[in-house]
Structure 1
Amino acid sequence: MRSSLDEVYRQYIGELQRYLYFLCRNHHTAEDLVQETFYRAYLYLESYSDEKVKAWLFRVAHNVFIDRLRKEGRVDLYEAEYFERAADKETPETLWFGHELSLKVKRILEALPLAQRQAWLLYEVHGFTYAEGAGILDISLASYKIALFRARHKLREKLQEGGSCSHDRGF
């Protein structure tokens, strides 16, 4: 069982770190949250039921992030250069962020309400289905779809103001 957790760790650490970084916008806090995520995953491995491991880990990460918010209040520290020095430079997400996501898009995403930003990240960047994303955020499917719709709408609206367009899955 330990070797399978090690494999899961190696497979998903990069994605979890990018997801948590984008939520808290602090490299060191994201690293702490990733470690806490895997610690909790290790503790609750026995309660893991045959759901998809990626969705389960992101659910644990979401809960860790929410716990941190409750404990410390709003986290608003920024490290804009994180995406340029991310460890996994060869992953599709970092290539997409590095080549397609302009500074304007990053600012628009950061300005979105947390629920909309999380819904957009889970669907557009990490490839979760609507149901998986709603499960990770522990909200109804309808609420998830509304948050994703509003995030897309705001992003599209702001990009059209500047004459840009996006090529991701939902636009």
Structure 2
Amino acid sequence: MSQSELLQAFETHALDLRRFLAKRVQCEETAADLVQETYLRLSGIARSEPIQNIRAFLFQVADNLAIDHLRSRTRFYQRYAGTPSPDLMGSTPLPDRELAAKQEWSIIQQAISELTPKCRTAFLLHRVQHLSYSQIAAKLDISQRTVEKHISKALAHCRLRIDRAGMP
């Protein structure tokens, strides 16, 4: 199956994937992010053998991402469930962590500045102002699908820049 056929099948089933993931993770916004992650995962797959049931394959990729998300969320809650009071914790970050955070922030800022204006605006409205895709679509007078594509493109671009810089 060619890459274009795989991505075309994704486009056909994207709405069903989003509904499935929303039920699975109990959050519309997280489901939308996971659909984008599914797209990114599929765009990086190079398969020489045919896929017998493309719909089942797409849903399995999405389900695996949902499981990873739920596990990560569970670990986060377990790790921070007993967070000590702020009085007991040092308020100053370790110098190496502070430097790494500043470097990563600089890379992300540069990556965001490289995006097209509409893509950058959609990304910032979602990630900074926490607007939903439908709110962004209305604000920018574009379709919700276009918003999803802009945000997916921005995430992929930022991830690429961080990976190229060798950041974790």
Which TM-score band (shorter chain)? 0.3 to 0.5
Q: TM-score of the superposition, structure 2-length normalised?
A: 0.40
Report the TM-score when normalising by structure 1. Answer: 0.39
